[in-house]
Amino acid sequence: MITRYDSNNRYSKAVVAGGFVFLAGLTAEDCSLGIEEQTASVLKQIDDYLERAGSSKEKMVSVNIWLTSMSYAGGMNKVWESWVAPGIVPARATVESKLATPDTLIEIMVQAII
């Protein structure tokens, strides 16, 4: 069985299948904010979608993070490290990339177990 959350004609924000939850790349709800605030916004969405799917941040297995500039890594990591469960961290990649809009500084995609 596959369960999809917040779907439109292009994608679903979250998909549950085979004991996993797959989150789409999530961006901040207000992209006029700085990197720390955008990161916190995305992490809150991750918490919300994981909870809806029956999972949690402690069950994340893989995370991909895109930043528009690696100069934002310090601010992002500050927020990430205060949010992630100590000692229960996923595999993670962080890369620099153009994102959907010039104001979008960060996008995060998560895979977790249920």
pLDDT tens digit sequence for 10-50: 999 999 999 999 999 999 999 999 999 999 999 999 999 99
Confidence class for position 2, pLDDT limits 50, 70, 90:
very high
pTM exceeding the 0.85 threshold for the entire prediction: yes
Q: Determine the topology of domain 3-113 in CATH.
A: 60s Ribosomal Protein L30; Chain: A; (3.30.1330)
Confidence class for position 108, pLDDT limits 50, 70, 90:
very high
Give the start-to-end residue ranges of the domains of the chain.
3-113
pLDDT, position 60 = 98
Burial of 40 (0-12, 13-18, 19+ CB in 10 A): middle
d(CA 78, CA 59): 21
Confidence class for position 67, pLDDT limits 50, 70, 90:
very high
Mapping DSSP to helix (H, G, I), strand (E, B) and coil, where does residue 13 land? Answer: strand
Cβ atoms 22, 111 nearer than 8 A: yes
pLDDT, position 41 = 98
Cβ atoms 109, 11 nearer than 8 A: no
* Residue type (1 letter), 21: V
